[in-house]
Structure formats: structure tokens, C-alpha cells
Amino acid sequence: MSIEAPRQISMLDALREALELEMASDPNVIILGEDVAGGAGLGAPYEGSMGGTFGVTRGLFEKFGGRRVRDTPISEAGFVGAAIGAAVAGMRPVVDLMWSNFALLSFDQIANQAAKLRYMFGGQSGVPMVLRMAMGAGLSAGGQHSDTLYSLFTHIPGLKVVVPSNAYDAKGLLAQAIRDDDPVLFFEHMSLYPKKADVPEGRYAIDLGRARVVKQGSDVTIVAIAAMVERALAAADLLAAEGIDAEVVDPRTLSPLDERSILDSVAKTHRLIVVDESPPRCGIAGDIAGLVAQHIPSELRSGVRLLTCPHTPVPFSPTLEARYVPSVERVAATARELCGHG
Amino acid sequence: MPSDDRSGNLAPGELLGLYRTMLTIRRFEERVTREFRRGKIPGFVHSYAGSEAIAVGVCAHLDDADMITSTHRGHGHCIAKGCDLRAMFAEVAGRVDGLCRGRGGSMHVADFSKGMLGANAIVGGGIGIATGAALAAQCSGSRAVAVAFFGDGAANQGVLHESMNLASIWRLPIVYVCENNGWAESTPASYASSIVRLADRAAGYAMEGVTVDAASVVDVHRAAGAAIERARAGSGPTFLEVTTRRFEGHFVGDPAKYRNEDVAELRISDPIADARSLLLSSGLFTDGDLQALESAVDVSIDQAADWALESEWPDPESVERDVYAPTGVVQ
């Protein structure tokens, strides 16, 4: 591992770097998905020209060829199933599902096959496969192109769920997801694709199951997921000016979940807010609250607050969508109330 | 062996081997049924009796590097692919010495060391996996082929159609073997499928579609051989439909009141009886030879079952084992 002088690149470019570096170091890593090459089979100059709907895989077809960067028809059950089979037969497929909603077309493959194969077969084989998918409200993409389905998959034993909040983490977590021997669902928030951060050029990996305390604080713990991390940080800035010292914790992966880091933070601040851009029922926000209630109830000085979306599909119109996602102001107001500054 | 059309190009020793494996499957299913009725086997089991020629005729062309996926009615595929009888029986009985340490049971028997990538309790569940195994073989440049076994019920699952399309556009080394026994639980294929000959669906994917009948292991062996040779040569996938008969109900204990057919009549088309008569008519084997082989099969099944039922139950404390890889990471 070599870490050079930092440079700023977008999360989108960071993800591409992780794919390229892992593919270069392991010939068994292959990429499957709709438009991952783009124009495959048409010959130059069309072949490889799309590089995925968002451009994450751009240039990889040219570098690694059509055997390793394979466009698929629009048939999610078929190609996710094929990725599982390829994984048990020695490959490390990285599947681009485009939008997380499309994962639902392959739900049987993910939940009944990939998740259970190791367990049902007594540990004979794992499924070293990564399913990458974009998610999140904010683009007026509407009800079927915006869902954040990470809680749904976190519920299923046998899967791992990764939710990066920045370019640096995205690169290291994707590298680790590819090297992992279990199926990993990798959620990429669309609003984060263009956001830049310091990212080393070399190959590095971040362990799954390690949260990061993004900002230290002593008055209230704000656990925030994916794009909510930057909102939590913005709220923490507002609060600091008012004398409230918020700690922001980014779990980075929801399965496995770094319970220890969350509990340690709450034990220090005695207050908890979870900011989660997904519906409230059976969601990760409630799950984290339950964890604290179960393990350290006496540490809580006031109630827990869960800032989630309303229990509705993601709306289309910008005014509705803006109301749907927890805002910086809502996070700040909730912290004030919890800390008795309301 | 005389140039009898019915024996195809099978050498006598080969046909004897197929007969033995088919009989092993039949006896295994009979013993499983008996133990299930005695309450010695948890859950539920689905008998492969009547369809032995399919698994045996296909898997005779495969070695351990070749990969198959199977179904809820999968004991025959396991035995034909070479799974150890004792460990298989122990798995069906939920014991710790089972192939999957008792985690899978009858509908989830797997033995990756034999290229048996698992029985699957989701109808059509193994089809995508087998397609991916073929993709891996193609990517890595190995000579391995994959076979997906499934029933007429799975022929109506979307994943089959998606997978056949993938296999066709990528020319994957795979054979889709559709065991058409006429019934999806209680629903007849004549009702549930838009066509009678399911192999006709292959044409929609520019794929070779072949139909043979499971009453003759020789026929299945010949058709499967051609399909597997095509796959190995890089000439792409085949859809092989094998019409067959479900001698039992959907599961052991199914009263099958919906059946409008005479089961005794179905049993006339028995691939095991057919192979036996073929062996005798070859003049190379006496009835005594075959009886000796049959006794040996009986002994092997009895030994496997007795051993399995003596095996320990899994330690309840191991319930959380094998959800994830031991380390979770490869450095």
C-alpha cells in the first residue's frame, strides 16, 4: 500500500479508480451490467463509449476488454444470477445495477440465493460478488429511481451493506468489497458522485464494519448515513456557533454494523440523533436506536430522535422532494431541542 | 454389444454403469421414503423415482470440473454427479456429518468438490447460478461446462428466459435440462404452459431445442452427449427437454388426489426396467450377474442410511456459524 500526496477527485472517479486497481491486480474480477461498456459489439468509435449510466466504468472496457467488462441485456434476475454462479465458480464479479430500485428485479437472486448459499451449504462456498447501485433523492428522479434500499438488505443475514459518504471512503470500501468473500451491496448516493475529496492515487482498502467519527463532540451524537453525513456536518457547524458540540458518526457499513463505535459515542454524549434518508418502518435508524436502548439505556439523558423520510415513496416535484429528505435545519433544530436549547 | 439401435453407441460396461447408478438412486429414494414415514427425516422430501435416466444419462458425460445445479427433487442429480451416499443421506437426515453439516437438508444438498452447486428450493433458482458457472468457465478459458436441471414448472419462470438469452448471446457452455414430468405440484403442464413441447421455447433464443423421453437412458445419454459436446466445443447452449413421469406425488405423503392418471400405467415406462432388459438382451449379462449387482447396490444404500442415522445432530451452539466467511476478507 502506498499513499501519495493527496489530490482531490470526485467520488465517481474514486470508484472508477478502485475498480481499475482491483481489476489490474486480480484477473478474476469482472464487471457485468447494463451499459457498463456501452455500445459493446458496435466497434469503434461506439464500443465502450458509455461506461455506465453515470460513467463510473468509463474506460474499463478499453483497458480490460469485453470478456471482463460485459454489457448485459436488461435482465436483472438473469445477470445477477449469473454473477452468483460466476462467483461460486471462481470469479469476483462486480455488478452494476444502475439504480437501487432495479435490484428488486433480482430480489430472489440476492435474498434467496446469494445471501444463503454459504449457510445452507455448510460453508462450502461463499459468493464473492459486489452489487453496485446508485440511490437517493434530489434529482427529481421519481418514485422508481430514487429509493435508498439499504435497510431492506441489511435485514437479510448473509449480505453485507456499504454506504459510503465521500470519495475517499468510497474508493477504499469498494476495494475491500471486491476482496471480500461474501456478497456486498454497495450503495452510491447520486448527489455524492461529483463531490470531491482528498483521495490517494494508490491502492488501499477500508475494512467493512468500521465506523468513522467524522467530527468529535461532547453534547450529542449524530449518526448519519451516506449523503446525510454532510448534512449532519453542516448542522454541527451551525450548532457550534450556538455552543452545542455535536459528534458526527458515519457507520460507513450497515452490515456489519460497528455497534461499538456508536455505543461509545452515545456513552460519551448521552444524546442520540440518527439521520437516515430512508423510510422509518423497520429501518436502520430504528435499529440503531434499539441498539442503544438495549445496551446502554442508562446512558441516555434524553430521548432518542430519528430523522428519516416520511413513510412514503420518494416524490417527484422538487418542493415535495426537498421536504422528503431530512434537512440541515431539521437536524440542527432537533439537536437544539434534545440539548435543551430549543 | 450387438449393434442394437436401442443401445446406441454405449459400450456394455457403460450401460451397466448407468444401470447401477439409476438403481442406486431408486433404492436411495425408497429408503429415504421409508425413513421419512418413520419420522427419521425432518422437513419434507421429493422423490426422483421415475426420472433416474435424466440425471444419470446427462451426468455420465461430466467430470468433477463440470458444474450442475439442481432442484427440490434433487437426490438423483447428487448421486449421478458422484456425491458420497453416506454424507448425502446424513444431510437429508439433518445430521452433522451431512454434506452441508445439516444446514441444507433434502432441498439444499450440495457438494462443491464434485461440481454439484446445490439443490435449490426456489423453482428455477439454480438456473441463473448454472449460467454464471458457464460464464466463469468461459472467462477462465477452462473446458468445463455447466448443466442446469429444472422442471416444467420452472420453464415458466422469468429467470430461465433471461438466462437462456444471456447464454445464447454469449455462447456459454451450458445445457438447460428441463425435466418435464407433467406436473408442477398439482398443476398440469398442459394447463400452465402455452405450448406442449417445451423445447420449442429454445427457438426464441436461437438455441438448439431437443426433446427425448426418460424411459430410455440410452436416448437421454445420446442427446445429452451431443449437447454437452456442443457446449465444450464453444458452440453454445442447448435446451434439452426430457419428458418423464413422476412415480410419486409431489412430495412423500402427497395424497395426489388431483392426479387423473393411472400411476401403475406410468410405471410401465421405467428406465431401470428398460435398461435391465437391454442388458439381458445383449447376452453379455445373466440374470444372476444383475442380481449380484442389485444386491451390492442394496448393501451400499443400507450402509449409507444406517451410518447416516447413527450420525450426530449438529451442535445447537453452531447455529450462527457460516453466515459469513470466517475472516470476511481476503488480503
- Helix (H) / strand (E) element for A214: namely strand A212-215
Please say if A295 is a catalytic residue: no
Averaged pLDDT, groups of 10, chain A, 342 residues long: 73 98 98 94 86 94 95 97 98 97 98 98 97 95 95 98 98 98 98 97 97 98 98 98 98 98 98 97 98 96 95 96 96 96 70
User: For the domain B9-318, what is the CATH superfamily, name and number?
Assistant: Thiamin diphosphate (ThDP)-binding fold, Pyr/PP domains (3.40.50.970)
pLDDT for A272 equals 98
Lookup: cell for B202? 429454445
Q: Give the mean pLDDT of chain B.
A: 94
A311 catalytic residue (yes or no)? no
pLDDT (0 to 100) of residue A43: 87
| Amino acid identity for residue B137 in this structure | A
Please give the torsion angle defined by the CA atoms of residues A310, A311, A317 and A321, in that order, rounded to the nearest 10 degrees. Answer: 40
Residue in A77, A125, A182 closest to B162 by CB: A77
State the catalytic residue, choosing from A22, A145, A247, A277: A145
Question: For residue A147, what are the CA distances in angstroms to A133, A144, A154, B166?
Answer: 11, 7, 15, 28
Cβ contacts (< 8 Å) between A208 and chain B: which residues? 328-329
Q: Taking CB atoms and an 8 Å cutoff, what residues of chain B touch A176?
A: 329
Least confident of A40-49, A60-69, B151-160, B184-193: A40-49
For residue A206, give how far its alpha carbon lies from the nearest alpha carbon of chain B (Å): 11
Q: In angstroms, rounded to a whole number, what is the distance separating the alpha carbons of residues A83 and A31?
A: 9
The whole-number average pLDDT for the span B135-152 is: 97
Between the alpha carbon of residue A321 and those of residues A116, A142, A234, A280, the distances in Å are: 36, 9, 19, 16
For A321, the grid coordinates are 422532494
Q: Under a CB-based contact definition with an 8 Å cutoff, are residues A308 and A285 in contact? A: yes
C-alpha A46/C-alpha A58 separation (Å) is 12
B244-257: average pLDDT: 89
Reduce the DSSP state of residue A226 to 3 states and report it.
coil
Partner residue facing A81 (CB), from B101, B132, B324:
B132
DSSP state of B49: T
How does DSSP assign B202-271, residue by residue?
GGGGT-EEEEEETT-HHHHHHHHHHHHHHHHTT---EEEEEE---SS-SSTT---TT--S-HHHHTTS-H
Whole-prediction pTM: 0.95
Please give the domain boundaries of chain A with CATH numbers for all domains: 9-198 (3.40.50.970), 212-338 (3.40.50.920)
Rounded Cα distance, B145 and B134, in Å: 6
Residue A132 pairs in a beta bridge with A96, A186
Across the interface, of B102, B133, B159, the residue whose CB is closest to A77 is B159
What pLDDT shows up at residue B5?
Answer: 60
How far is it, in rounded angstroms, from Cα A292 to Cα A266? 8
Q: Note the pLDDT tens digit of each residue in B87-130.
A: 999 999 999 999 999 999 999 999 999 999 999 999 999 999 99
Closest CA to A165 of A81, A276, A244, A267: A276
Comparing CA positions, the residue from B125, B115, B167, B132 lying closest to residue B150 is B125
- pLDDT per residue as tens digits for the range B38-75: 999 999 999 999 999 999 999 999 999 999 999 999 99
At B2 the pLDDT is 42
- Here the cell at position A221 is 451524537
What local confidence, expressed as pLDDT, does residue A342 receive?
A: 61
Question: Exactly one of A22, A34, A76, A247 is catalytic; which is it?
Answer: A76
Residue A3: predicted pLDDT:
55
Angle at the Cα of B115 (from B240 to B23), degrees rounded to 5?
Answer: 65
What pLDDT was estimated at residue B259?
A: 85
Q: Write b or e for each residue in B229-249: b if 16 or more Cβ atoms lie within 10 A of its Cβ, otherwise e.
A: ebbeeeebbbbbbbbbbbbbb
Cell of B74: 434433487
Which triple of cell numbers denotes residue B267? 410405471
Quick check: helix, strand or coil at residue B26? helix
Q: Please, which residues have CB within 8 angstroms of residue B3's CB and are 6 or more apart in sequence?
A: none
- The pLDDT-based confidence of B248 (bands split at 50, 70, 90) is confident
Contacts of B125 in chain A (CB under 8 A): 108, 112-113
Sorted by where each begins, the domain ranges of chain B are 9-318
